[in-house]
Amino acid sequence: MSANKDKGFTRRGFLKVSGAAGAAAAIGGHAHVLKAFAKGAENNQEPDLRNAYSVCDMCFNKCGVIARVDKSGIVRKLDPNPKFAKSRGMLCARGNAGIAQLYGPDRLKYPLLRKGERGGGQWQRLTWDEALDLAAERLEKIGKACTRCGVLFMAGTDMQSSFVHRFASVFGSFNVISHESNCLVSVNRAFVDTFGEVPNPDLLHCKYVIMAGANRFEALVTPDTMDLMTAMQQGCKLVVLDPRFTKTAALAHEYHPIRPGTDMAFFLAVAHVIIEEDLYDRKFAEERLNGLDQLSAHVKQYTPEWAEKECEIPAPDIRRIARELAEAAPAAMVYPGRRSSDYEDSTQIRRSFAIVNALLGNFDQKGGLTIAQPIPLKGVAYDAPWYDDNPKDRVEAGRSKMMFEEEGSFKHARDAVIEGKPYPVKGFFTYKTNPMATGANRQKTIEMIRKLDFMVSVDIVMSDTAWMADLVLPAPTYLERQDPISPVQGVTAGACIVTRDPVVPALYESKPVFWIMKELAKRLDLGEFFDFTMEDYRKKQLAALPEAQAALEKDGVYYIPGKLYGVYEGKPIKTTSKKIELYSQRYKQAGLDPMPVYRPPREVPADRFRLVVGRNGYITQGSSTNNSLLSELAPENTLWIHPGPAKKMGLHPEDSVEVSSKAGKGTLKVRITEETRPDTVYMDSGFGVISKGLSRVHGKGASIVEILEDYNDEISGNMAMHETLVSIRKV
């Protein structure tokens, strides 16, 4: 490559050679990496690259990756795996930036014990033996003093998270939560309680999509993002409802800047039109729907003219959209969405989405909502020991009416720990999750942590959560790990299984959580429950899929043959009534509205704004902002504010503002833009970090979770992150 020859090794030269975004980070990280690159450049020859399959872990999507590794064992480039149909040959900006995750200079290198004050940033290096002995001793002590449920475990999305669950279970704590109650439990609740399960949207064959409260062209979800693009090229119409003019809105055929918190009004009015004008499939309704009469009576009041006053979408548009949807049915849908940690009635809002889908008769149909395909993975079975002195239930039990048993609620668990009720929780183990950056009301998370006797965090960097811990344990990134086999739903591509083997050996002293759990179990006399290697475990997993191993080795993925549509033909739906529940008897019995009843969102006074959460293509949740490549693209956050109020406040581009709420405040620059409603402001997540171990992002922007108040969805216990009204002041 002449660019290299002429100029020596430059970043641009490298990008030309390999097309990878990864080099800069690699250079920033390690002298030996720099040397390896420089040598390649001097010789002016493309290094021989070995190809290694992996699965991207820069977000939960699990896109297929081929890592190109050079002779000296350095990952030079990450490419999409073309045989991995679920990601449709895509690797996004964050996926490419995985190299900076691996070689980032801020990686944790060895176990660290807090010295001095919590959160004070003073650490002492420990050996692994010292760290594990200490952790085992402290966990045991808490178990004795507070019962074993006195240790709360929290694990984020990961192929190894199941080992944390296994450990918690054999240790004896049923207080295990995931990030999901900050993410999607309300949409899952709504769809499970309507259809008996969480369906997958067949966007590829869909002809008409309404997307509300989702931003699929920035908040990427594979295969949905790619399928929607393809479908739109084939004539699918996209209607977007969002208070912000997102990238998805920009590409849509029709966009409505809906008043935040009023989606239910819109969808109840759509249901009104479909029923009033007899636009639904009678046969499907008769066979499959439960409660159509009740719904018909219920939605009479919700006319488009009424809805217009609530959601600010013109009534003629609501009528037209309802007719167009019904015309395209069953290959039409209200996209269920993903993150629904929005409002206090988010489950009921998403129930209104589900109900319109039910009326469209799109369940289990091509171009509609398809059924997750069964994936017969096994595991190493175990019988967890019984501890007599344990309390009856989870610490946050009963705080919301219908929490998922597996996921619990971060918000409620945090309150319970702070209150010490119904019993004390004094230990906290976090793995690959960063609630200090992703749980609304950061001061409350700090308050919770201050109540603890002992907190362990397993992370790859000194996240804000690790920063608050007593013991920080360094983990390898996905490119260094051997993982169990994991199921992936690919919708039209079919269900598949994937796994990970190390692309390169683990850096520093990092150890996978599987090993950490095994070592802790040994020290706590629970070794028998982890008496297997990862190879043993995988073999067991594949017991029912003998042909899969060879495919995984050859292609990095194995597809499970299965039926995609008509799965329920001749079979009952998995709900109490055995039908799709427009009306929910279970809700009625639990004292909840059996059908969604519209209640207007709290008014936004003239001098205040609603703060909403969302994503951009370069940031994953609250925690990728320190990645050197991604931070070039999103170096700090700004407050999106509409020109109308900005003018009234005398704000100019580049001005800074203080944004405050009952929870806290932050200062950041403004972005004056018509891409948000005058009553709504927005900022990216993952800034305003407290950890000085995140050297690149520390000191940049403001933290949204410092400002967000902690409301929750009444039914599911999901965090409700769009309920906060903020004041803004020029500084």
Ligand X SMILES: Nc1nc2c(c(=O)[nH]1)N[C@H]1C(S)=C(S)[C@@H](COP(=O)(O)OP(=O)(O)OC[C@H]3O[C@@H](n4cnc5c(=O)[nH]c(N)nc54)[C@H](O)[C@@H]3O)O[C@H]1N2
481, 504 Cβ separation under 8 angstroms: no
Which stretch, 196-204, 332-340, 650-658, 719-727, contacts Mo ion (CB under 5 A)?
332-340
Helix (H, G, I), strand (E, B) or coil at 212: strand
Q: Which residues are 676's β-sheet partners?
A: 244
Query: Minimum distance between the CB of residue 501 and ligand SF4, rounded to whole angstroms?
Result: 17
Check: CB of residue 560 under 8 Å from CB of residue 87: no
Residue 63 interaction partner, one of ligand SF4, Mo ion, ligand X, none, beta carbon < 5-8 Å per kind: ligand SF4
On whether the CB atoms of residues 270 and 322 are closer than 8 A, the answer is: yes
Q: Give the nearest distance from C-beta 60 to Mo ion in angstroms.
A: 7
By three-state DSSP, how is residue 318 classified? helix
- Rounded to whole angstroms, the Cα distance separating 713 from 731 reads 34
95 touches ligand SF4 (CB under 6 A)? yes
Least Å distance, CB 63 to ligand SF4, is 3
Site map (CB under 6 A) of ligand SF4, residues 219-238, x = contact: -x-x----------------
Q: Whose CB is nearest to Mo ion? A: 183
Q: Which residues of 292-310 are buried (b: 16+ CB within 10 A; e: fewer)?
A: beebeebbeebbbebbbeb
Please state whether beta strands 656-660 and 725-730 pair in parallel, antiparallel, or not at all (unpaired): antiparallel
CB nearer to ligand SF4: give 62 or 671: 62
Q: How far apart are CA 366 and CA 95, in angstroms?
A: 30
Look at residue 394 and give the partner it binds from ligand SF4, Mo ion, ligand X, none, a contact being a CB closer than 5 to 8 Å depending on partner kind: none
- Both tokens of residue 500? 């990970």
Phi, psi (5° rounding) for residue 124? -120, 130
Residue among 33, 59, 252, 329 that touches ligand SF4 (CB under 6 A): 59
Q: Any contact of residue 58 with ligand SF4 (CB under 6 A)?
A: yes
Taking the C-alpha atoms of residue 405 and residue 394, their distance in angstroms, rounded to an integer, is 9
406 is written with which tokens? 């597996």
| C-alpha separations of 297 from 6, 12, 268, 272, 595 in Å | 77, 65, 12, 9, 11
Residues 462-491 that bind ligand X (CB under 6 A): 463, 475, 477-478
User: Which part of the chain contacts ligand X (CB under 6 A), choosing from 13-21, 41-49, 452-460, 488-496?
Assistant: 452-460
Answer for which of 273, 333, 356, 613 binds ligand X (CB under 6 A) is 613
Which listed range, 118-126, 179-187, 662-670, 709-717, lies at the site for ligand X (CB under 6 A)?
A: 179-187
**102 lies in the site for ligand SF4, by CB under 6 A:** no
Comparing CB distances to Mo ion, the nearer of 159 and 329 is 159
Tokens 């896109």 belong to which residue? 63
H helices within 218-314, ranges in order? 224-233, 247-251, 263-276, 282-288, 292-299, 304-311
> Which span sits near Mo ion by CB under 5 A: 35-43, 176-184, 362-370, 374-382?
176-184
- Collapsing DSSP to helix, strand or coil, 518 comes out as helix
**Near ligand SF4 by CB under 6 A, which window of 58-66, 370-378, 380-388, 406-414?**
58-66
Confirm or reject binding of residue 685 to ligand X (CB under 6 A): yes
Least separation in angstroms between CB 615 and ligand SF4? 11
Per-residue contact flags (x/-) with ligand SF4 for residues 71 to 90, judged by CB under 6 A: ----------------x---
Contact between 503 and ligand SF4 per CB under 6 A:
no
Q: State how far the Cα of 506 lies from the Cα of 479, in Å rounded to an integer.
A: 8
Task: Looking at residues 214 to 233 of the shown chain, list those that interact with ligand X (rule: CB under 6 A).
Answer: 214-216, 218-221
Please tell me what DSSP assigns to residue 713.
-
Taking the least distance from each CB to ligand SF4, the nearer of 62 and 411 is 62
Which tokens in the block code for residue 91?
A: 């690797």
Q: At 189, is the secondary structure helix, strand, or coil?
A: helix
CB 299 within 8 A of CB 238: no
Task: Identify which of residues 175 and 438 has a Cβ nearer to Mo ion in the complex.
Answer: 438
17/624 Cα distance (integer angstroms): 26
Cβ closest to ligand SF4, residue 222 vs residue 637: 222
> Which part of the chain contacts ligand X (CB under 6 A), choosing from 1-9, 111-119, 458-466, 632-640?
458-466
Angle between helices 128-146 and 513-523 (to 10 degrees): 60
The binder of 228, among Mo ion, ligand X, ligand SF4, none, by C-beta within 5 to 8 A per type, is: none
Provide, rounded to whole angstroms, the least separation between the CB of residue 211 and ligand SF4: 17
Q: Is the dihedral of CA 216, 219, 220, 224 positive or negative?
A: negative
Is the distance from CB of 596 to CB of 351 less than 8 angstroms? yes
Other C-beta atoms lying within 10 Å of the C-beta of residue 398 = 10
- Span interacting with ligand X, options 210-218, 284-292, 357-365, 526-534, rule CB under 6 A: 210-218
Least distance CB 165 / ligand SF4 (angstroms): 22
CB of 56 to ligand SF4, least distance (A): 3
Q: Which of 175, 723, 612 is nearest to 397 (CA)?
A: 175
φ/ψ (deg, to 5) at 333: -160, 155
Query: Can residue 95 be called a binding residue for ligand X (CB under 6 A)?
Result: no
Contact status, residue 70 vs residue 49, Cβ threshold 8 Å = yes
Q: Which region among 7-15, 140-148, 325-333, 455-463 touches ligand X (by CB under 6 A)? A: 455-463
Binding partner of 645, given Mo ion, ligand X, ligand SF4, none, CB within 5-8 angstroms per partner class: none
**∠ CA 118-120-125 to the nearest 5 degrees?**
85
- 3-class secondary structure, 406: coil
Distance of CA 427 to the CA centre of its chain: 25
Between 92 and 333, whose beta carbon lies closer to ligand SF4?
Answer: 92
Distance separating alpha carbons of residues 272 and 268, to the nearest angstrom: 6
Q: Which is nearer to ligand SF4, 91 or 542 (CB)?
A: 91
Applying CB under 5 A, among 149, 151, 183, 326 the residue interacting with Mo ion is 183
Which residues, at least 6 apart from 628, have a Cβ–Cβ distance to it below 8 Å?
A: 24, 25, 28, 100, 104, 105, 696
| Residue from 186, 623, 631, 712 in contact with ligand X (CB under 6 A) | 623
Considering CB distances under 5 to 8 angstroms, the limit depending on partner class, which of ligand X, ligand SF4, Mo ion, none binds residue 91?
Answer: ligand SF4
Q: Which is nearer to ligand X, 461 or 690 (CB)?
A: 461
The piece of 92-100, 110-118, 143-151, 255-263 that touches ligand SF4 (CB under 6 A) is: 92-100
Among 111, 201, 367, 614, binds ligand X (CB under 6 A): 614
Nearer to ligand X, 243 or 594 (CB): 243
Ranges of H-type helices in 484-547? 513-523, 534-541
**Cα-atom radius of gyration of the chain, to the nearest Å?**
26
Tallying the residues shown for the chain, one arrives at 731
Please report whether residue 215 would count as binding ligand SF4 according to CB under 6 A.
no
Q: Which does 222 bind (CB under 5 to 8 A by kind): Mo ion, ligand SF4, ligand X, none?
A: ligand SF4
For residues 402 and 602, is the Cβ–Cβ distance under 8 A?
no
d(CA 136, CA 522): 9
Q: Does 720 bind ligand X (CB under 6 A)?
A: no
Number of residues that bind Mo ion (CB under 5 A): 2
Closest CA to 731 of 645, 641, 668: 668
Tell me the residue nearest to ligand SF4 as measured from the CB: 95
Nearer to ligand X, 91 or 458 (CB): 458
Shorter beta-carbon distance to ligand SF4: residue 75 or 681: 75
Binding site for ligand X (CB under 6 A): 57, 59-60, 156, 179, 182-184, 212-216, 218-221, 241-244, 246, 258, 260-261, 263, 337-339, 341-342, 431-435, 437-438, 458-461, 463, 475, 477-478, 612-615, 617, 619-623, 685, 704-705, 722
Binding site for ligand SF4 (CB under 6 A): 56, 58-59, 61-63, 87, 91-92, 94-95, 220, 222
Binding site for Mo ion (CB under 5 A): 183, 339
